């Protein structure tokens, strides 16, 4: 059993003291300027915006800015707790008290206007902007942009059993508990697990916490939903003893950790269950990203949708992750790590690193759906609902022959927008480029032409597709067969992307 960092009675006192410490209350004391400063790590700006003589401002200084606070002021807002009583949390300093840990009020982005917002408290180590130095090897990450990406990408259907692999501060588990009857969360790091236990206790939740690597702690068990924001960083296989970090380095070289997860996750998902993870992958001169990922996925019987969101060249990638750990360009340490990392990248034939997200559905199908595609656009967040709606459309396309599709009365999705770019040619405006865009959800943008956009305008959910195509063929004076052959693949693509709904 993993114990929280504080004793039960200390947790009760702290929870009570932090009752009003919510994202809304913090925004109120910081104001929009201070909040923007906090969000982008400009803690000095945030501190300047805080009022004096305000309990939430004191809590913000202590637990979000890492500032020193006079002892009396701290005791007054912490129900009398002092460094002597809670040395794991508070540290006495010459002039007062500091918190050893960040405690961040956090609320789920509203899924719909009716759902009730619950505010949680997330415990983690301080980031390098507070520590003023590179992170420690056993650093437990707070809520970062990857955490939010995964939280927004997760399908929030009810689950009986949910699993968070590599829970860290516990942010994913908090979300899972909102729609799952039972939450299990794992981590290799015992420190991370104690932080997660503290996050759960302060947020009024309870999870089954287990220590171990990847899926070892849940061997033989199955879950309806598995999420993982794993230590996916592509490196030489650094460990905490060789310059790596628990939060991002697995000790496995290249993208081996992601390969192992993708190939083993299907074994722990129930029939009809789903696994969603963030991942990075190696791109070499001889193998494209989707060939590599297909190899991992083809051995499974799962339906899979893989998004490549971004691609970074080795130097961009290495700089990104050195900065992430608080390393400073220009120092000898930066130079050494940068050189070693890039030298390894080149010896391993890494020409770029792909970064993305993977959803695997366990449907036991003999001909599973496999789509691997670039998704560079800014999708509408939270996107999890659109991810869930994607699979039924793929199954529809799989089981519907072209003849059946022609008899279907498809409906154009609400919010489809056409944009046209015109050029002057022969003394008049001619359409040079025409695009269709989904204004919601995946926000796909595809090139189109007049025939396709006329067809979409006619897809009202009551007219069979073949009738629409006959009218279209007559209007352009072309044989129906020719129009049908040209447009059927386009229709399939538009259904797949959600422009056309079955």
Binding site residues, ligand SAM, CB under 6 A: 141, 144, 147, 150, 165-168, 171-172, 186-189, 192, 213-214, 229-231, 246-248, 250
Residue 282 tokens read as 């190696």
> Closest approach of Cβ 355 to ligand SAM, in Å?
13
Question: Which one, 10 or 249, has the nearer CB to ligand SAM?
Answer: 249
* Continuous segment of H or E residues that includes residue 164: strand 159-165
A 10 A CB-CB count for 404 gives: 11
Min dist. Cβ of residue 232 to ligand SAM (A): 8
Nearest to 228, CA basis, from 181, 180, 172: 172
**164 torsion bin: left (phi>0), alpha (psi -120 to 50), beta (else):** beta
What whole-number distance in Å separates Cα of residue 227 and Cα of residue 398? 27
Smallest distance from the beta carbon of 361 to ligand SAM, in angstroms?
A: 21
Tokens, residue 413:
């999705």
Nearer of residues 187 and 224 to ligand SAM, judged by Cβ: 187
Q: How far is the CB of 324 from ligand SAM (least distance, A)?
A: 10
Minimum CB distance to ligand SAM, residue 228 (Å): 8
Cβ 322 vs Cβ 335: under 8 Å:
no
- The H-or-E segment that residue 379 falls in is none
Whichever of 167 and 362 has its CB closer to ligand SAM, that residue is 167
Give the distance, in angstroms, between the CA of residue 326 and the centroid of all CA atoms in the same chain.
22
CA distance 22 to 401: 53
- For the CB of residue 219, give the shortest distance to ligand SAM in the complex, in Å: 13
The count of other CB atoms within 10 Å of the CB of residue 380 is 16
Nearer to ligand SAM, 261 or 438 (CB): 261
Nearest CB to ligand SAM, comparing residues 63 and 247:
247
Q: 167 vs 448, which CB is nearer to ligand SAM? A: 167
Query: Greatest CA span in the chain, whole angstroms?
Result: 87
Tell me the closest approach of the beta carbon of residue 321 to ligand SAM, in angstroms. 11
* Cα-trace Rg, the chain: 26
Q: Nearest-CA neighbor of 278 among 89, 152, 129?
A: 152
295: number of Cβ within 10 Å: 12
* Closer CB to ligand SAM, 145 or 462, in the complex: 145
């Amino acid at each position: 059993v993993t114990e929280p960092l504080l004793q039960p009675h200390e947790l009760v006192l702290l929870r009570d003291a932090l009752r009003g410490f919510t994202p809304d209350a913090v925004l109120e004391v910081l104001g929009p300027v201070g909040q923007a400063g906090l969000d982008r790590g400009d803690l000095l700006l945030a501190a300047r915006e805080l009022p004096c003589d305000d309990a939430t401002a004191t809590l913000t200084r202590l637990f979000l800015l890492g500032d020193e606070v006079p002892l009396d002021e701290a005791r007054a807002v912490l129900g009398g707790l002092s460094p002597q009583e809670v040395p794991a949390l508070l540290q006495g300093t010459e002039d007062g008290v500091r918190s050893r840990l960040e405690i961040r009020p956090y609320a789920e982005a509203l899924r719909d206007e009716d759902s009730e917002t619950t505010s949680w408290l997330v415990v983690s180590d301080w980031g390098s902007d507070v520590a003023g130095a590179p992170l420690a090897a056993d650093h437990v990450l707070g809520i970062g942009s990857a955490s939010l990406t995964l939280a927004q990408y997760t399908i929030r259907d009810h689950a009986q059993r949910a699993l968070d692999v590599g829970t860290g501060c516990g942010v994913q588990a908090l979300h899972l508990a909102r729609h799952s009857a039972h939450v299990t969360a794992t981590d290799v790091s015992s420190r991370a697990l104690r932080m997660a236990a503290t996050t759960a206790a302060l947020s009024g939740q309870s999870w089954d916490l287990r220590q171990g690597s990847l899926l070892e702690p849940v061997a033989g068990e199955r879950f309806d939903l598995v999420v993982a924001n794993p230590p996916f960083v592509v490196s030489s296989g650094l460990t905490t003893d060789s310059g790596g970090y628990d939060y991002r380095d697995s000790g496995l070289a290249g993208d081996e950790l992601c390969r192992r997860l993708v190939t083993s996750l299907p074994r722990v998902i129930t029939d009809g269950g789903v696994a969603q993870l963030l991942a990075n992958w190696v791109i070499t001169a001889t193998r494209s990203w989707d060939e590599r990922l297909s190899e991992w996925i083809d051995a499974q019987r799962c339906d899979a949708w893989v998004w490549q969101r971004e691609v970074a060249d080795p130097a961009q990638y290495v700089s990104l992750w050195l900065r992430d750990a608080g390393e400073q360009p220009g120092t000898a340490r930066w130079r050494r790590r940068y050189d070693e990392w890039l030298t390894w990248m080149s010896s391993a034939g890494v020409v770029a690193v792909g970064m993305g997200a993977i959803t695997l559905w366990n449907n036991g199908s003999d001909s599973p759906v496999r789509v691997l595609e670039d998704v560079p656009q800014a999708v509408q967040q939270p996107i999890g609902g659109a991810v869930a709606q994607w699979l039924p459309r793929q199954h529809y396309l799989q089981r519907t022959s072209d003849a059946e599709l022609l008899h279907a009365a498809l409906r154009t999705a609400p919010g489809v927008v056409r944009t046209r770019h015109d050029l002057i040619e022969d003394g008049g405006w001619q359409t040079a480029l025409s695009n269709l865009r989904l204004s919601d959800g995946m926000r796909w943008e595809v090139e189109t032409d007049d025939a396709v956009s006329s067809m979409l305008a006619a897809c009202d959910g009551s007219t069979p597709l073949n009738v629409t195509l006959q009218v279209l063929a007559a209007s352009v004076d072309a044989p129906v067969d020719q129009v049908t052959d040209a447009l059927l693949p386009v229709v399939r693509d538009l259904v797949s992307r959600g422009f056309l709904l079955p």
